[in-house]
Amino acid sequence: MKWITRERPKIDRIACPWLIRRFIDPEAEFIFVPYEQIQTMAQDLNATPFDIPEAEFTHYQDQCTFDYFLSKYKLTDPALHSIAPIIRGADTDDHTLAAQASGLWAISAGLAFNITDDYELLEKGMLIYDSLYSWAKHLQKEKHTQSPTERLFLQVFNTYLNEKKSHPGKMPGWAKELKEIIQDQIDTNLSLSLKEISEGLNIHPAYLSREFSKYFNNLSFGEYIRKLRIEKAMDLLQGSSHSLAEIAYLTGFSDQSHFTRIFRKYTDQSPAEYRKRINKK
């Protein structure tokens, strides 16, 4: 089957050919032409247009063409559905949809900049999506390495977690050091995960959570991290000109709505109300 779309592909117009060749039609042929030639050449070549507004295979609401192919051909492979929001985020410039979306966009844009022949670009791009699929299928839980802070975090726990507490009721040394490490981490990396920490320590997360709360104001790990995020947000609201959306991003919230909801829960006022009140003083 022949498929036709706009020239100079980057995201959807490479991701969709990859999907077609790997999961729908290995012999599929793809044609890249200027936009104004698509309809005429589609008729002459008996090719199906895709990723253009008037085609069946295109964007619908917040879904991109890759999403439509998954639905149209009833592709249920979990790995494909894992990479779909990455592709959608890169293709629509909504990098909040997946942490990997901005990276995919950067690589795709750079590839298109370096390669001027669309058919060579497609073949090189196929390698990118083969790799992305393999990651989604087999490697999602793998990490390249731990950051120095994470290694220190685990070192402190491994050093002190199993020590017998010599002064009941008094915060042990490991908890004091851990508190300092978390505070350092919250200023630079808001992706601390109790699950990852538990796996690194080879202990059950429930035990870690229980021990953690004893020395951190009876707060769970997640509650403590959220508390620090709110405190950092309050500092930014008072001492910076960042927008609320920017502060939400800088403090690790998924979006401004989530940030506002959690901030109100902790302070009984919205971030905007807090900023207005502080600025009046």
Confidence of residue 148 (pLDDT cuts 50, 70, 90): low
Predicted TM-score (pTM) of this structure: 0.55
pLDDT at 88 over 50: yes
CA dihedral 109, 110, 112, 117 (to 10 degrees): 180
Q: For residues 88 and 104, is the Cβ–Cβ distance under 8 A?
A: no
Confidence of residue 278 (pLDDT cuts 50, 70, 90): confident
Confidence of residue 187 (pLDDT cuts 50, 70, 90): very low
Superfamily of domain 225-280: Homeodomain-like (1.10.10.60)
pLDDT at 188: 45
Section 19-43 average pLDDT: 96
Section 87-109 average pLDDT: 93
For residue range 220-239, what is the model confidence (pLDDT) as tens digits? 777 777 888 888 889 888 87
pLDDT at 140: 84
Query: CA-based angle 20:59:78, to the nearest 5?
Result: 50
pLDDT at 204 over 50: yes
Section 226-253 average pLDDT: 84
User: What proportion of the chain, given as a percentage, has pLDDT over 70?
Assistant: 76
Section 77-94 average pLDDT: 95
User: What proportion of the chain, given as a percentage, has pLDDT over 90?
Assistant: 50
Section 64-92 average pLDDT: 96
> Where is pLDDT greater, at 158 or 85?
85
> Where is pLDDT greater, at 187 or 83?
83
pLDDT at 269: 93
Domain extents in the chain = 2-139, 148-218, 225-280
Closest CA relative to residue 272, chosen from 88, 105, 78, 264: 264
Closest CA relative to residue 216, chosen from 205, 206, 232, 227: 227
Helix axis angle for 12-23 and 65-72, nearest 10°, is 20
pLDDT at 181 over 70: no
Q: For residues 225 and 179, is the Cβ–Cβ distance under 8 A?
A: no
pLDDT at 246 over 90: no
pLDDT at 252 over 50: yes
Report the C-alpha gap between 31 and 42 in whole angstroms: 9
pLDDT at 116: 95
Residue that has been written with the tokens 């793998």 in this structure: 142
Section 97-104 average pLDDT: 92
Q: For residues 208 and 165, is the Cβ–Cβ distance under 8 A?
A: no
Q: What is the mean pLDDT of the chain?
A: 83
Section 141-167 average pLDDT: 56
Confidence of residue 168 (pLDDT cuts 50, 70, 90): low
Section 153-182 average pLDDT: 57
pLDDT at 164: 46
Give the phi and the psi of residue 74 in degrees, each rounded to 5.
50, 50
Report the C-alpha gap between 260 and 129 in whole angstroms: 36
pLDDT at 165: 45
